[in-house]
Amino acid sequence: MLQSQLRSKEYTGMGLHFGARHLHISNGNTKTPERNPSHDSNGLFAGLSWDLKKERNGKYK
For 7-23, what is each residue's pLDDT tens digit?
666 667 778 888 888 88
For residues 23 and 57, what is the distance between their CA atoms, to the nearest angstrom? 41
The winner for highest mean pLDDT among 16-20, 29-33, 53-57 is 16-20
Kindly report the pTM of this predicted structure: 0.52
pLDDT level of residue 60 (50, 70, 90 thresholds): low
Max CA pair span of the chain: 62
pLDDT level of residue 27 (50, 70, 90 thresholds): confident
Residue 55 counted as domain residue: no
Contact 50, 17 (CB under 8 A): no
Count how many domains the chain has: 1
Domain that includes residue 42, residue range: 2-50
The mean predicted confidence, pLDDT, of the chain is: 77
Between the alpha carbon of residue 29 and those of residues 22, 24, 60, the distances in Å are 20, 13, 52
Residue 36 counted as domain residue: yes
Residue 28 counted as domain residue: yes
Residue 59 counted as domain residue: no
Contact 53, 27 (CB under 8 A): no
